[in-house]
């Protein structure tokens, strides 16, 4: 069985990124920096209608604009454009302005169709339909354990709540897009992607090309968060434009388009009931929920395009549970996987009602967690330690006061929440080339999302070869390299690290044979390599069992100050306690945790896509009104990594963003003694929750959907067996 070094030099320590200098000096070449000779711009025309029959698209005037080299339609037949921003056509031209002028001249013959963009409206039977043959919301998926009704009847305390989470946008700082160049039979695409192989295969099948004629490169990319796995319509269009013109075409989406069509986190509307016995043990739980993942949500596609379901009941051990969940279709762009899909929604609803129950039981929320976080699973076992570590470091017991007991105009509060994630990962192959001058090149068809994968590869090779990370050249993001999977699900580190381990040990064996040295590492390295000769050593390897693991738990605590006259929330501190097995690069791991918390802060307090029910458009397709947290909004972030090297490598990208919003929401509720039941928690909602907004009573804050389960008669549906809870 392979095993990681027990007294490592680099593994588990902090190593600066090997590609840091390139990134900060602008040397690093992203997809939008690829300017092959003769390159031209590509641009997409999108539907300005929220729902419309597209009869025909006339490109002739666009083609006549000086500088325009090609204009194409997405489809030739009549079709329905189901949402504001759906792709209709594309042009390629020698300047940005030529493309803009051309888009304005494309004539689209379309007929408006009634639309619905609000989930609350779409669930009503009399709502206009996204697909005429299907209701917007279908039968819920039902899971049931134990005897729920009986357990509620036996409960000493029962609480009920309505909670809702918004549509969050990925808004990667590098937008979606590619530079594509068809040369002869070969198509090369520089893609901003989380999966060079999935983009290659997607393009090959869409364009009916053999996979060996498509090469996808992603040297550097500026964030994906789940939204950049396939080629997307924009990838297919840019490829068709280069095929048509024979010129390299660069098509990066404008920020505006990012808000329309390239993914988002599904919304959730959660009606939760919880029952506990007098000792504070939860014995009954019921959740009825719906949400949207866009126009393909709902029964027309069996919830395709990213479902709006989420794990429930989340984390806590409850013997009697009933969960009913459905997706509802609306005329908006589809969801895509988004950093810990489903979990932040699950955490917000569950941890909110947990605190409501704790308050009713007059229990400290921490004690209430400890009493109920009792699943027989590794993440739960780890979390039971983490609650205590967090409480100790945060000073929970000293700081905790019952909800609403903080004095003065500006009230302080604290809150907590937990999370779990799978992670893991397998299947990566890689190769290593060792040259006679001792230089080392690693090649792996993974990609670096900005998480530091290149550095991770270099650290592991340096550790095993007895070199420094800076002496290793790690190459990735190219389908010419041995294959690896998409970078999603927090699987990259756990999938790549064992493969690098394997090739390096294979290489040492070969180098030992070539050099005749028993140990060619460290000081012996260059002497050993001189024996290699003209033909470099090329060694393959692959992921091995025993060096990585899956299944993590994490907890977070937050401290806020809420101005009860203005509703303004100042987030003072977030503590993140997270396990992640063997840490390869401490600096990058903490950086991931910082990023996860920051994204959770945005989810909690600022970010929300606003759809306008009157016009059907996205109202805030920009950073002016889609509010991302900035430097001034940042709390002190403290990270405690629960290192468990014996477990091997586990990813951390996703779990660290899960509990943040729920912990902040609970801190706000603890401060002001009233709950804002929907995200983001903005000043207007805080004032309403405090009963200070005359035309917005506190009990109207969740919205008008509370009786949906009765209206839709959900009690008629019986359980379908399926995995669902997250422990």
**Chain positions contacting another protein, by CB under 8 A:** 48, 84, 97, 100, 256, 407-410, 563, 565-568, 570, 605-606, 610, 612-615, 617, 619-620, 624-625, 627, 629-633, 682-684, 687-688, 692-696
Residue closer to another protein by CB (options 116, 507) is 116
**Are 656 and 554 in contact, with CB atoms under 8 Å apart?**
yes
C-beta of 6 vs 409, nearer to another protein: 409
Taking the complex as a whole, the smallest distance from the CB of residue 48 to another protein amounts, in Å, to 5
Q: Among candidates 97, 101, 102, 113, which has minimal Cα distance to 58?
A: 102
CA angle 176, 177, 178 (to 5 degrees): 150
In the complex, the smallest distance separating the C-beta of residue 84 from another protein, rounded to whole angstroms, is: 7
502 DSSP assignment: H
Helix, strand, or coil (residue 459): helix
Task: Dump the DSSP string for 161-223.
Answer: EEEEE-PEE---SSPSEEEEEEETTEEEEEE--S-HHHHHHHHHHHHT--GGGEEEE-SB---
Beta carbon of residue 565, minimum distance to another protein (angstroms, whole number): 4
Going edge to edge, which strands form the sheet with 214-217?
68-73, 87-93, 40-46, 249-252, 177-183, 186-191, 214-217
| CB 297, min distance to another protein, A | 22
Q: How far is the CB of 118 from another protein (least distance, A)?
A: 11
CB-count exposure of residue 388 (10 Å: 0-12, 13-18, 19+): middle
Cβ at position 89, least distance to another protein in Å: 16
Q: How far is the CB of 698 from another protein (least distance, A)?
A: 12
Task: Count Cα neighbours of 725 within 13 Å in the Cβ-side half-sphere.
Answer: 22
Residue placing its CB nearer to another protein in the complex, 434 or 617:
617
- Smallest gap from Cβ 548 to another protein, in A, equals 39
As a whole number of angstroms, the distance between CA 680 and CA 685 comes to 9
> Between 47 and 420, whose beta carbon lies closer to another protein?
47
Q: Which is nearer to another protein, 157 or 410 (CB)?
A: 410
Nearer to another protein, 557 or 687 (CB): 687
Element (DSSP H or E) covering residue 88: strand 87-93
- Cα→Cα distances 352→266, 567, 654, 723, Å: 19, 19, 21, 23
Instruction: Say if residues 85 and 70 touch (Cβ distance below 8 Å).
Output: no
Q: How far is the CB of 605 from another protein (least distance, A)?
A: 8
**In what order do the strands lie in the sheet containing 569-579?**
410-421, 552-563, 569-579, 636-642
The span from the CA of 429 to the CA of 45, in Å, is 40
Q: Is the peptide bond before 454 cis (omega within 30 degrees of 0)?
A: no
Compute the distance between CA of residue 452 and CA of residue 18 in angstroms, rounded to an integer: 8
Residue 259 or residue 472: which is nearer to another protein going by CB?
259
Closest approach, Cβ 688 to another protein, in A, equals 6
CA–CA gap between residue 594 and residue 579 (Å, rounded): 14
Q: Give the Cα separation of 403 and 507 in Å (integer).
A: 61
Q: Looking at beta carbons only, is 264 or 620 nearer to another protein?
A: 620
Pick between residue 277 and residue 612 the one whose CB is nearest to another protein: 612
- Region at 278 (left for phi over 0; alpha for psi -120 to 50; beta for the rest): alpha
Two tokens, residue 672:
């002001």
CB nearer to another protein: give 362 or 695.
695
- In the chain, the N- to C-terminal Cα span, in Å, equals 29
Reduce the DSSP state of residue 285 to 3 states and report it: strand
Q: Which is nearer to another protein, 459 or 618 (CB)?
A: 618
Name the minimum Å distance from CB 604 to another protein.
12
Nearer to another protein, 441 or 612 (CB): 612
Are 391 and 377 in contact, with CB atoms under 8 Å apart? no
Half-sphere exposure of 481 (CA within 13 A, CB side): 28
Count of residues in the chain: 727
Which CB, 251 or 701, lies closer to another protein? 701
* Nearer to another protein among residue 281 and residue 627 (C-beta): 627
CB 626 to another protein: min, Å:
10
Residues 5 and 8: their CA atoms lie apart, in Å, by 6
Contacts of 542 (CB under 8 A, 6+ apart): 427, 428, 429, 430, 499, 502
Closest distance to another protein from the beta carbon of 705 (Å): 17
Q: Least distance in Å: CB of 96 to another protein? A: 10
């Amino acid at each position: 069985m392979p095993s990681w070094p027990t007294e490592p030099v680099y593994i588990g320590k902090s190593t600066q990124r090997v590609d840091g200098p390139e990134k900060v000096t602008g040397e690093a070449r992203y997809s939008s920096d690829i300017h092959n000779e003769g390159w031209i711009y590509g641009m997409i025309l999108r539907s300005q209608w929220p729902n419309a029959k597209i009869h025909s698209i006339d490109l002739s005037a666009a083609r006549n604009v000086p500088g325009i080299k090609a204009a194409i339609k997405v489809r030739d037949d009549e079709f329905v454009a189901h949402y504001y921003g759906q792709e209709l056509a594309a042009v390629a031209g020698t300047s940005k302005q030529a493309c803009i002028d051309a888009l304005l001249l494309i004539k689209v013959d379309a007929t408006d169709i009634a639309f619905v963009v609000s989930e609350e409206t779409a669930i009503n039977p009399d709502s206009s339909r996204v697909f005429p043959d299907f209701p917007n919301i279908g039968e819920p998926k039902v899971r049931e354990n134990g005897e729920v009704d009986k357990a509620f009847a036996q409960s000493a305390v029962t609480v009920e709540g309505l909670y809702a989470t918004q549509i969050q946008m990925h808004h990667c700082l590098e937008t979606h897009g590619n530079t594509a160049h068809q040369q002869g039979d070969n198509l090369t695409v520089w893609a901003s992607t989380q999966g060079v192989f999935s983009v290659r295969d997607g393009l090959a099948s869409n364009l009916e090309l053999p996979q060996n004629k498509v090469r996808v490169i992603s040297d550097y990319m500026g964030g994906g968060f789940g939204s950049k796995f396939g080629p997307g319509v924009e990838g297919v269009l840019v490829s068709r434009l280069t095929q048509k013109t024979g010129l390299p075409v660069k098509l990066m989406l404008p920020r505006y388009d990012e808000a329309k069509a390239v993914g988002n986190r599904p919304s959730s509307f959660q009606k939760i009931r919880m029952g506990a016995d007098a000792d504070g043990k939860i014995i009954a739980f019921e959740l009825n929920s719906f949400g949207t993942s866009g126009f393909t949500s709902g029964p027309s596609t069996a919830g395709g395009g990213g479902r709006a379901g989420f794990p429930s009941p989340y984390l806590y051990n409850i013997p009697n549970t009933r969960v009913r969940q459905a997706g509802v279709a609306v005329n908006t762009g589809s969801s895509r996987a988004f950093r810990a899909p489903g979990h932040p929604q699950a955490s917000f609803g569950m941890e909110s009602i947990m605190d409501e129950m704790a308050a009713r039981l007059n229990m400290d929320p921490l004690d209430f967690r400890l009493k109920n976080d009792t699943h027989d699973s590794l993440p739960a076992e780890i979390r039971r330690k983490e609650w205590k570590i967090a409480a100790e470091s945060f000073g929970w017991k000293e700081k905790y006061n019952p909800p609403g007991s903080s004095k003065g105009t500006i009230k302080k509060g604290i809150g907590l929440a937990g999370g779990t994630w799978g992670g893991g990962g397998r299947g990566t192959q890689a190769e290593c080339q060792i040259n006679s001058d001792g230089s080392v090149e690693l090649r792996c068809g993974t990609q670096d999302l900005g998480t530091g994968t290149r550095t991770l590869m270099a650290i592991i090779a340096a550790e095993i070869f007895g070199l420094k990370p800076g002496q290793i050249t790690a190459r990735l993001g190219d389908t010419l390299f041995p294959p690896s999977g998409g970078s999603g699900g927090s699987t990259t580190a756990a999938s790549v690290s064992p493969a690098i381990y394997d090739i390096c040990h294979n290489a040492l064996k070969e180098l030992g044979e070539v050099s005749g040295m028993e140990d060619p590492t460290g000081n012996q390295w260059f002497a050993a390599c001189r024996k290699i000769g003209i033909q470099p050593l090329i060694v393959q390897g692959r992921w091995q069992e025993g060096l990585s693991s899956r299944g993590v738990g994490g907890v977070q605590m937050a401290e806020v100050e809420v101005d009860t006259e203005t509703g303004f929330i100042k987030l003072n501190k977030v503590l993140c306690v997270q396990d992640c097995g063997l840490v390869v690069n401490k600096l990058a791991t903490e950086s991931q945790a910082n990023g996860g918390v920051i994204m959770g802060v945005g989810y909690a307090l600022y970010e929300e896509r606003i759809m306008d029910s009157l016009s059907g458009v996205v109202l805030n397709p920009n950073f002016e009104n889609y509010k991302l947290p900035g430097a001034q909004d940042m709390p002190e972030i403290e990270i405690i990594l629960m290192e468990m090297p014996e477990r091997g490598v586990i990813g951390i990208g996703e779990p660290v963003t899960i509990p943040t919003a729920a912990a902040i929401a609970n801190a706000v509720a603890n401060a002001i003694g009233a709950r804002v039941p929907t995200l983001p928690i903005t000043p207007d909602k805080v004032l309403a929750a405090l009963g200070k907004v005359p035309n917005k009573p506190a009990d109207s804050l969740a919205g008008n959907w509370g009786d949906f389960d009765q209206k839709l008669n959900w009690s008629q549906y019986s359980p379908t067996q399926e995995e669902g809870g997250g422990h």
